[in-house]
Amino acid sequence: MKKFTALVIVLTMALGLVLSGCGSSDKLVLNVYNWGEYISDGSDDSLDTIKAFEEWYEQEYGTPITVNYTTYASNEDMYNKLSSGAVSYDVIIPSDYMIARMAEEGMLQPLNFDNIPNYQYIDDSFKGLYYDAEDKYTVPYTYGVVGIIYDANVVDEADVGGWDLMWNEKYADSILQYNNSRDAFGTAMYKLGIDVNTTDMDQWQRACDELIAQRPLVKSYVMDEIYNMMESGEAAVSSYYAGDYFTMQEAQADHVDLKFYYPEPTNFFIDAMCIPTCAQNKELAEIFINFMLSEEAAIANAEYINYASPNKIVYENEAYIEDMGPEAMEILYPELGNFSELYNKYAYRSLDVQMLDHLNTLWETIKIN
């Protein structure tokens, strides 16, 4: 889940519609579709993992390759683009509940793990989970926990704790809310103690009413816009993904003092690398996935995007642990040994079509209220 990209190699939308797999006679083309700022791109002295893959592949196989890398802001945006049939991608990195939906709808290809030997480094806690119980379609890329970010120069310490902060009238017009239905409803449902995967429409209506009550307090509904707004002090309270807190903290203005905490309960999530059925170069996609699990690339990605890695090569690396520091390790890797239990309890599940239609209707009601 995540951030707004600064990759130099990002294509324009027009080019993104001309995705072509491996049809070129002179050069292979791999089309990758990912969250914004969700890969180490060479900025801030980081490793450009896309360029590194291109160079490694040409050296290893003697064939030039170009990676066309484009980004999306939400799982729903990604799903709508692929389900429209207008474009083709070779590698995508959705979140768990969307993976379950896409697999159920036949939108994902089974992986050939013979081409992904580095899969052995994925911690067993991240295998056999509900969204891919047979470990057939996915390779975990990152995981995390949703928390609340706040400006300590604005928010009173006595108000910190739990989900109530996002409904505190004292901070009206300084609160940000997700601009996607599942995460926004999650904040209300966790606050009310409602199962985020309930099929009881009355419970969804309760959550809707809670979000409508919050509406006058909300400055803006955001995704990638959260960075500038929290870093600049334009807003003071927002729920977001733990890894992004460190990115915002590093870029915060002098008059801003961003802090973070986990409300209870909260969402646990996994984003994973997959190959959609529209992919035109499956084997090349698997080689790319394997490269992203290799030591240099995996550590570079984890350090750059500030998300927790399910890759043992990363979180057991002493230099990585030292570079991240104790606060980051404590926030990013909470109770790793207990992850599967917490994940199974609080992660989003894929909703059936009827519930999705109902959710979308409720979401529209909130946005126009």
Q: Give me the average pLDDT of each 10-residue run along the chain (369 residues).
A: 42 38 62 94 94 97 96 92 93 96 96 98 93 97 95 98 97 96 96 96 97 98 94 98 91 97 93 97 98 98 94 96 92 76 87 92 90
pLDDT confidence of residue 37: 84
Looking up tokens 């429209």, which residue turns up?
A: 84
Give the burial class of 94: count Cβ atoms within 10 A of its Cβ; 0-12 exposed, 13-18 middle, 19 or more buried.
buried
Looking up tokens 């802090």, which residue turns up?
A: 259
pLDDT confidence of residue 336: 56
pLDDT confidence of residue 334: 78
* Coil, helix or strand at residue 204: helix
pLDDT confidence of residue 2: 55
pLDDT confidence of residue 13: 35
pLDDT confidence of residue 337: 61
pLDDT confidence of residue 200: 95
Residue 85's CB is within 10 A of a number of other CB atoms, namely 8
Cis peptide leading into residue 117 (ω within 30°)? no
- Quick one: which of 14, 32, 71, 42 has its CA closest to 223? 71
pLDDT confidence of residue 17: 38
Say how far apart CA 197 and CA 351 lie, in whole Å: 7
Contact 174, 237 (CB under 8 A): yes
pLDDT confidence of residue 14: 36
pLDDT confidence of residue 1: 62
